[in-house]
Amino acid sequence: MKFYMTPGSCSTGIHILLEGLELPFEVYVVNLMAGDQNKPDYVAINPKSTIPTLVRDDGTALTEFGAIAYWLARTHPKAKLMPGDAEGDTLVIETMHYVVGTIHGQGFTRIFTTANFTPNEADYEAVKARGREIIEKAFAIMNNVLTGKEYVAGSYSIADAALFYVEFWAVKIKIELPPNCLAHYQRMLARPVVQRVLREEGYR
């Protein structure tokens, strides 16, 4: 398979899942700052110009974090990357949607790509502040979800790989994680596969 990713991005979560499954794949780095996502060769693979993208053995491409993670879990059931019961699976999917759609899509994008939200530079700080509010509220919600549990659904799942990448971002830009989220982040950091992926992506 071919995995198109950007170090330190949302694709880190998928990278962790791929490495954890010990699947053979080739890595292709998409330099977002250089605009690689808009180049014809990449657009031909992923017309959305987003990351991550996973091109499977049959040549078809999967996009969107949740879709790729779900496919990996369903096609490798022995890894138990989803709980397997209706309630647990629903919680995993609900959490992934919230992480990607709200914490990432509404919160961190206001901080990382502020210009996409306003053409007026005078408004940048207000946009970033709103992003921070969204992030902090969302982590408070996730903190409650994690109460009394080591992982989102009790045992490690694809939802934890999603939650980890936004926790990683929060720590990098010095947004304080609430206690349960911080414990989850540290628990994820202790996993050998996470350590290996971060090293491969250039982090110590």
CB 201 within 8 A of CB 12: yes
**11 a catalytic residue:** no
The residue from 9, 11, 155, 157 that is catalytic is: 9
**Residue 23 CB coordination number (10 Å):** 14
User: Measured in whole angstroms, how far is the alpha carbon of residue 5 from the centre of its chain?
Assistant: 11
Phi, psi of 96 (to 5 degrees): -60, -45
Q: Where are the alpha helices (DSSP H) in the chain?
A: 11-20, 40-45, 65-75, 86-98, 109-112, 124-145, 158-172, 179-189, 192-200
CB 19 within 8 A of CB 196: yes
Q: What angle do CA 93, 54, 62 make, to 5 degrees?
A: 60
Residues belonging to the active site? 9
